[in-house]
Amino acid sequence: MSDVTPAATDGPDLRPGTGSVTVFTTSWCGYCRRLTSQLDRDGVPFTEVDIEANPEHADWVESVNGGNRTVPTVLFADGSAATNPSLTEVRARLSA
């Protein structure tokens, strides 16, 4: 997992509330489907943003992934992000 602290206020504000995450995805990403299914099954609140359907958010994903549109990218309430985290990693960050 890649962990960075982006400027989450650059572009549209999609910063989640405490205890929730925003997951940036694409429709064809198997890792995205796996993570969102696990979050849903585990009762972790999240907002999903498909960066192909909402291309205005792709720049932010690129900004926290070294210029790459790597998904899933997860945005946390504190403004930090994680790239392709496991459910365990997301739960740990939410309970910290």
pTM of the entire structure?
0.87
Written as six digits, the tokens of 17 are 């509330």
- The answer to whether 64 touches 37, Cβ cutoff 8 Å, is no
For 33-42, the pLDDT digits (tens) are: 999 999 999 9
Backbone CA torsion sign across 79, 27, 83, 59: negative
Under CATH, which number does the domain 1-6+28-52+69-96 receive? 3.40.30.10
Residue 68 phi, psi (nearest 5):
-100, 150
Each domain of the chain, given as residue ranges in start order, spans 1-6+28-52+69-96
- The answer to whether 1 touches 64, Cβ cutoff 8 Å, is no
For 48-61, the pLDDT digits (tens) are: 999 999 999 999 99
